Amino acid sequence: MKSVVIVGSGSVAGALAVAIGNSRMRLVQIYARNHEKAERLAEECCCDHASKPSELARADVYIIAVSDKAIVKVASSLDFGSGVVAHTSGSTSIADLPAKIKEKAVFYPLQTFSQGRDVNMRDVPILIEGSSAHAVSAMREVAEAISDDVREVSSAQRARVHLSAVFVCNFANYMYTIGEELIAEAHQPFDLLKPLITETAAKAVAASSPRLVQTGPAVRNDYQTKSLHCEMLGDKPDLKNIYINLSNHIWETSKKI
Protein backbone atom coordinates (compact mmCIF):
# COMPACT_ATOMS: atom_id res chain seq x y z
CA MET A 1 0.00 0.00 0.00
CA LYS A 2 1.48 3.31 -1.08
CA SER A 3 0.91 6.67 0.63
CA VAL A 4 -0.02 9.36 -1.91
CA VAL A 5 -0.10 13.18 -1.98
CA ILE A 6 -2.03 14.90 -4.76
CA VAL A 7 -0.62 18.29 -5.79
CA GLY A 8 -3.28 20.45 -7.46
CA SER A 9 -6.99 21.12 -7.09
CA GLY A 10 -8.32 21.21 -10.65
CA SER A 11 -10.55 18.63 -12.32
CA VAL A 12 -7.79 16.02 -12.92
CA ALA A 13 -6.50 16.42 -9.34
CA GLY A 14 -10.07 16.12 -8.05
CA ALA A 15 -10.89 12.98 -10.04
CA LEU A 16 -7.61 11.28 -9.03
CA ALA A 17 -7.96 12.28 -5.38
CA VAL A 18 -11.49 10.87 -5.15
CA ALA A 19 -10.48 7.62 -6.89
CA ILE A 20 -7.32 7.15 -4.81
CA GLY A 21 -9.17 8.12 -1.63
CA ASN A 22 -11.67 5.34 -2.33
CA SER A 23 -8.99 2.77 -3.20
CA ARG A 24 -6.73 0.54 -1.12
CA MET A 25 -3.99 3.22 -1.36
CA ARG A 26 -3.57 5.77 1.45
CA LEU A 27 -4.32 9.34 0.36
CA VAL A 28 -2.52 11.49 2.93
CA GLN A 29 -2.81 15.05 1.63
CA ILE A 30 -4.12 17.44 -1.01
CA TYR A 31 -1.54 20.15 -1.60
CA ALA A 32 -2.57 23.23 -3.60
CA ARG A 33 -1.76 26.92 -3.64
CA ASN A 34 -5.49 27.64 -3.61
CA HIS A 35 -6.18 27.03 0.08
CA GLU A 36 -9.97 26.96 -0.22
CA LYS A 37 -10.05 24.47 -3.09
CA ALA A 38 -7.48 22.26 -1.35
CA GLU A 39 -9.58 22.29 1.81
CA ARG A 40 -12.81 21.48 -0.04
CA LEU A 41 -11.24 18.58 -1.95
CA ALA A 42 -9.52 17.23 1.18
CA GLU A 43 -12.84 17.29 2.99
CA GLU A 44 -14.45 15.31 0.16
CA CYS A 45 -11.63 12.75 0.31
CA CYS A 46 -11.26 12.65 4.12
CA CYS A 47 -7.58 13.57 4.09
CA ASP A 48 -5.25 16.36 5.19
CA HIS A 49 -4.59 19.50 3.12
CA ALA A 50 -1.80 22.06 2.82
CA SER A 51 -0.99 25.24 0.92
CA LYS A 52 2.55 26.09 2.05
CA PRO A 53 5.67 24.28 0.79
CA SER A 54 6.82 23.67 4.37
CA GLU A 55 3.58 21.80 5.11
CA LEU A 56 3.95 19.22 2.33
CA ALA A 57 3.44 15.77 3.88
CA ARG A 58 5.86 12.85 3.48
CA ALA A 59 4.58 10.21 1.06
CA ASP A 60 5.73 7.36 -1.18
CA VAL A 61 4.16 8.96 -4.25
CA TYR A 62 3.43 12.58 -5.27
CA ILE A 63 1.10 13.13 -8.21
CA ILE A 64 1.40 16.66 -9.62
CA ALA A 65 -1.92 17.27 -11.41
CA VAL A 66 -1.54 20.89 -12.52
CA SER A 67 -1.60 22.57 -15.95
CA ASP A 68 1.28 21.63 -18.28
CA LYS A 69 2.78 25.10 -17.99
CA ALA A 70 2.87 25.00 -14.17
CA ILE A 71 4.47 21.54 -13.72
CA VAL A 72 8.13 22.64 -13.60
CA LYS A 73 7.47 25.65 -11.38
CA VAL A 74 5.39 23.69 -8.89
CA ALA A 75 7.77 20.72 -8.87
CA SER A 76 10.77 23.01 -8.33
CA SER A 77 9.16 24.73 -5.36
CA LEU A 78 8.59 21.59 -3.30
CA ASP A 79 10.78 19.12 -1.41
CA PHE A 80 9.53 15.59 -2.09
CA GLY A 81 12.21 13.80 -0.02
CA SER A 82 12.76 10.35 -1.50
CA GLY A 83 9.23 10.05 -2.89
CA VAL A 84 8.38 9.10 -6.48
CA VAL A 85 7.15 12.27 -8.25
CA ALA A 86 4.78 11.99 -11.21
CA HIS A 87 3.11 14.53 -13.47
CA THR A 88 -0.21 13.78 -15.24
CA SER A 89 0.41 15.46 -18.59
CA GLY A 90 -0.05 13.79 -21.97
CA SER A 91 2.46 15.85 -23.87
CA THR A 92 5.13 16.62 -21.25
CA SER A 93 8.22 14.42 -21.25
CA ILE A 94 9.25 12.66 -18.05
CA ALA A 95 12.64 14.34 -18.51
CA ASP A 96 11.05 17.78 -18.03
CA LEU A 97 10.65 17.14 -14.29
CA PRO A 98 13.39 19.05 -12.37
CA ALA A 99 16.77 17.31 -12.09
CA LYS A 100 16.64 17.40 -8.28
CA ILE A 101 13.86 14.79 -8.39
CA LYS A 102 15.52 11.39 -8.37
CA GLU A 103 12.48 9.17 -8.87
CA LYS A 104 10.66 10.73 -11.83
CA ALA A 105 7.39 9.31 -13.14
CA VAL A 106 4.27 9.92 -15.22
CA PHE A 107 0.68 9.06 -14.31
CA TYR A 108 -1.48 10.02 -17.32
CA PRO A 109 -5.20 9.23 -17.18
CA LEU A 110 -6.51 9.16 -20.78
CA GLN A 111 -9.83 10.91 -20.24
CA THR A 112 -11.41 14.37 -20.31
CA PHE A 113 -12.26 15.55 -16.79
CA SER A 114 -14.56 18.43 -15.88
CA GLN A 115 -16.04 19.77 -12.69
CA GLY A 116 -19.46 18.31 -12.07
CA ARG A 117 -19.04 15.16 -14.17
CA ASP A 118 -18.38 11.82 -12.50
CA VAL A 119 -16.21 9.47 -14.51
CA ASN A 120 -15.81 5.80 -13.66
CA MET A 121 -12.04 5.67 -13.19
CA ARG A 122 -11.91 1.86 -13.50
CA ASP A 123 -12.64 2.30 -17.25
CA VAL A 124 -10.04 5.04 -17.73
CA PRO A 125 -6.73 3.85 -19.22
CA ILE A 126 -3.78 5.08 -17.17
CA LEU A 127 -0.48 5.41 -19.02
CA ILE A 128 2.49 5.18 -16.69
CA GLU A 129 6.22 5.75 -17.00
CA GLY A 130 9.10 5.80 -14.49
CA SER A 131 12.78 6.75 -14.45
CA SER A 132 13.61 3.59 -12.48
CA ALA A 133 12.14 0.15 -11.85
CA HIS A 134 11.07 1.40 -8.42
CA ALA A 135 9.24 4.40 -9.91
CA VAL A 136 7.46 2.21 -12.51
CA SER A 137 6.42 -0.29 -9.87
CA ALA A 138 5.05 2.48 -7.60
CA MET A 139 3.06 3.96 -10.51
CA ARG A 140 1.69 0.54 -11.40
CA GLU A 141 0.60 -0.14 -7.83
CA VAL A 142 -1.30 3.16 -7.53
CA ALA A 143 -2.74 2.99 -11.06
CA GLU A 144 -3.97 -0.59 -10.70
CA ALA A 145 -5.69 0.37 -7.45
CA ILE A 146 -8.00 2.71 -9.36
CA SER A 147 -8.11 1.48 -13.01
CA ASP A 148 -8.49 -1.82 -14.88
CA ASP A 149 -6.39 -0.61 -17.83
CA VAL A 150 -2.81 0.33 -16.91
CA ARG A 151 -0.08 0.47 -19.57
CA GLU A 152 3.59 1.40 -19.44
CA VAL A 153 4.43 3.67 -22.38
CA SER A 154 7.39 5.93 -23.18
CA SER A 155 7.14 9.74 -23.28
CA ALA A 156 7.34 9.61 -27.10
CA GLN A 157 4.48 7.11 -27.31
CA ARG A 158 2.41 9.06 -24.80
CA ALA A 159 2.80 12.24 -26.85
CA ARG A 160 1.30 10.39 -29.85
CA VAL A 161 -1.53 9.00 -27.73
CA HIS A 162 -2.23 12.55 -26.53
CA LEU A 163 -2.27 13.78 -30.14
CA SER A 164 -4.84 11.05 -30.97
CA ALA A 165 -6.86 12.23 -27.98
CA VAL A 166 -6.90 15.79 -29.35
CA PHE A 167 -8.59 14.48 -32.50
CA VAL A 168 -11.17 12.17 -30.88
CA CYS A 169 -11.99 14.55 -28.01
CA ASN A 170 -11.17 18.22 -28.70
CA PHE A 171 -11.74 18.12 -32.46
CA ALA A 172 -14.82 15.87 -32.25
CA ASN A 173 -16.28 18.35 -29.76
CA TYR A 174 -15.51 21.14 -32.21
CA MET A 175 -17.53 19.28 -34.86
CA TYR A 176 -20.44 19.41 -32.40
CA THR A 177 -19.87 23.16 -32.01
CA ILE A 178 -19.99 23.69 -35.78
CA GLY A 179 -23.14 21.54 -35.90
CA GLU A 180 -24.73 23.81 -33.30
CA GLU A 181 -23.81 26.92 -35.30
CA LEU A 182 -25.25 25.51 -38.54
CA ILE A 183 -28.47 24.11 -37.09
CA ALA A 184 -29.17 27.50 -35.49
CA GLU A 185 -29.47 28.86 -39.02
CA ALA A 186 -32.33 26.41 -39.61
CA HIS A 187 -33.88 27.89 -36.44
CA GLN A 188 -33.50 24.54 -34.70
CA PRO A 189 -31.91 23.87 -31.29
CA PHE A 190 -28.68 21.92 -30.67
CA ASP A 191 -30.84 19.38 -28.76
CA LEU A 192 -32.02 18.00 -32.09
CA LEU A 193 -28.50 16.71 -32.79
CA LYS A 194 -28.00 14.99 -29.45
CA PRO A 195 -29.39 11.52 -30.30
CA LEU A 196 -27.19 11.53 -33.42
CA ILE A 197 -24.06 12.52 -31.45
CA THR A 198 -24.71 9.77 -28.91
CA GLU A 199 -25.35 7.06 -31.52
CA THR A 200 -22.33 8.09 -33.64
CA ALA A 201 -20.00 7.67 -30.65
CA ALA A 202 -21.70 4.43 -29.56
CA LYS A 203 -21.41 2.98 -33.06
CA ALA A 204 -17.69 3.77 -33.30
CA VAL A 205 -17.07 2.28 -29.86
CA ALA A 206 -18.96 -0.90 -30.82
CA ALA A 207 -17.05 -1.19 -34.11
CA SER A 208 -13.67 -2.82 -34.51
CA SER A 209 -12.63 0.31 -36.43
CA PRO A 210 -14.43 3.65 -36.96
CA ARG A 211 -13.28 3.50 -40.58
CA LEU A 212 -15.70 0.62 -41.16
CA VAL A 213 -18.74 2.62 -40.00
CA GLN A 214 -17.99 5.84 -41.91
CA THR A 215 -21.14 7.13 -43.61
CA GLY A 216 -22.20 10.32 -45.38
CA PRO A 217 -21.80 12.12 -48.72
CA ALA A 218 -17.98 12.20 -48.49
CA VAL A 219 -17.42 8.45 -48.31
CA ARG A 220 -20.03 7.91 -51.07
CA ASN A 221 -18.37 10.68 -53.08
CA ASP A 222 -21.88 12.10 -53.61
CA TYR A 223 -21.08 15.18 -55.71
CA GLN A 224 -24.60 16.53 -55.73
CA THR A 225 -24.97 16.65 -51.94
CA LYS A 226 -21.43 17.93 -51.45
CA SER A 227 -22.00 20.78 -53.89
CA LEU A 228 -25.31 21.67 -52.19
CA HIS A 229 -23.47 21.77 -48.86
CA CYS A 230 -20.67 23.95 -50.24
CA GLU A 231 -23.29 26.31 -51.61
CA MET A 232 -24.89 26.61 -48.16
CA LEU A 233 -21.44 27.33 -46.67
CA GLY A 234 -20.77 29.99 -49.29
CA ASP A 235 -20.82 32.84 -46.77
CA LYS A 236 -18.61 30.94 -44.29
CA PRO A 237 -15.26 30.43 -46.08
CA ASP A 238 -13.64 28.93 -42.97
CA LEU A 239 -16.28 26.24 -42.52
CA LYS A 240 -16.40 25.59 -46.25
CA ASN A 241 -12.66 25.05 -46.17
CA ILE A 242 -13.01 22.54 -43.29
CA TYR A 243 -15.88 20.81 -45.13
CA ILE A 244 -13.91 20.36 -48.35
CA ASN A 245 -10.73 19.43 -46.54
CA LEU A 246 -12.37 16.70 -44.45
CA SER A 247 -14.56 15.42 -47.30
CA ASN A 248 -11.52 15.00 -49.55
CA HIS A 249 -9.60 13.15 -46.85
CA ILE A 250 -12.51 10.83 -46.08
CA TRP A 251 -12.76 9.93 -49.75
CA GLU A 252 -8.99 9.51 -50.18
CA THR A 253 -8.72 7.36 -47.06
CA SER A 254 -11.72 5.20 -47.92
CA LYS A 255 -10.07 4.14 -51.17
CA LYS A 256 -7.13 2.73 -49.23
CA ILE A 257 -9.22 0.10 -47.38
Least distance from a copy of itself to the Cβ atom of residue 61, Å: 23
Least distance from a copy of itself to the Cβ atom of residue 8, Å: 16
Segment interacting with a copy of itself, rule: CB under 8 A, options 58-66, 73-81, 129-137, 176-184: 176-184
Number of residues that bind a copy of itself (CB under 8 A): 88
115-154 residues in contact with a copy of itself (CB under 8 A) are 117, 119, 123-125, 149, 151, 153
Segment interacting with a copy of itself, rule: CB under 8 A, options 2-10, 50-58, 135-143, 174-182: 174-182
Q: Which is nearer to a copy of itself, 84 or 250 (CB)?
A: 250
CB atoms within 10 A of CB 128: 24
**Does 221 contact a copy of itself by CB under 8 A?**
no
Could you say which of 76, 77, 114, 132 contacts a copy of itself (CB under 8 A)? 114
Which are the contacts of 120, defined by CB distance < 8 A and separation ≥ 6?
A: none
229-248 residues in contact with a copy of itself (CB under 8 A) are 229, 232-233, 238, 241-243, 245-246
Q: What is the 3-state secondary structure (H, E, C) of 60-127?
A: CEEEECCCHHHHHHHHHCCCCCCCEEEECCCCCCHHHCCCCCCCEEEEEECCCCCCCCCCCHHHCCEE
Could you say which of 34, 73, 213, 221 contacts a copy of itself (CB under 8 A)? 213
Q: How many Å apart are CA 166 and CA 228, to the nearest integer? A: 30
Q: How many Å apart are CA 32 and CA 41, to the nearest integer? A: 10
Could you say which of 46, 52, 54, 69 contacts a copy of itself (CB under 8 A)? 69
Q: How many Å apart are CA 56 and CA 235, to the nearest integer? A: 57
Least distance from a copy of itself to the Cβ atom of residue 142, Å: 19
Could you say which of 186, 234, 237, 255 contacts a copy of itself (CB under 8 A)? 186
